[in-house]
Amino acid sequence: MTETLSPVLPDQVDRAARAVLERACDRDLTLATAESCTGGLLASLLTDVEGASHAFERGFVVYTDAAKSELLGIPLEQIERHGAVSAEIARAMAEGALAGSGADVAIAVTGFAGPGAPGDEPGLVHFACARQGRATLSREEHFGDIGRGPVRIECMRVALDMLSQVL
């Protein structure tokens, strides 16, 4: 069970985090995260499981376009062309986290957790998972206007599922 987040996480998410970390430990693989709309929640979850935190290399919280560019090496022109919430940028985030961390696997999350600018779809989230020597996987989810907290919890489910697939 996670230490500090368990009171707010569904048991399924807690178990999935433990399973992902155990699988990473068993394979001697390290993980990195690149998070926008989840604001570091996934990194917190992955470092909250006692005895398995050594599988986590580092996390990047890249909420702004400038942060995505500066920390993950994504050209601002690419962000402007595709939009920060897009499959292209999610893949670039995962690949940038992989390149900038030394980790074996990186997961990225970018989306609209709540109401954004006019035209933004609340609950639209793009995910990408990169592993050294393999093609980067991406996934798009439409959670709907269910609120920031519930969207972020659903993001944990999807991100952990993707990590499990790639591990």
Residue-wise pLDDT tens digits, 81-98: 999 999 999 999 999 999
pLDDT of 27 above 90:
yes
Q: Which has more pLDDT, 50 or 24?
A: 24
Indicate if the pLDDT at residue 104 is higher than 60.
yes
User: What is the average per-residue pLDDT within 96-122?
Assistant: 91
Q: Are 110 and 39 in contact (CB under 8 A)?
A: no
Question: What confidence score (pLDDT) does residue 50 get?
Answer: 85
The model's pTM: 0.94
SS3 75: coil
Residues 23-38: what's their mean pLDDT?
Answer: 96
147 pLDDT tier (thresholds 50, 70, 90): very high
β-bridge pairing 56-61 and 31-35: parallel
For 127-152, give one letter per residue: b (16+ CB within 10 A) or e. Answer: bbbbbeeeebbbbebebeeeeeeebb
Residue 4 pLDDT class (50, 70, 90 cuts): low
33-37, 57-61, 67-71, 118-122: least confident range:
118-122
Percent of the chain residues topping a pLDDT of 70? 96
What are the tokens at 157? 């489910």
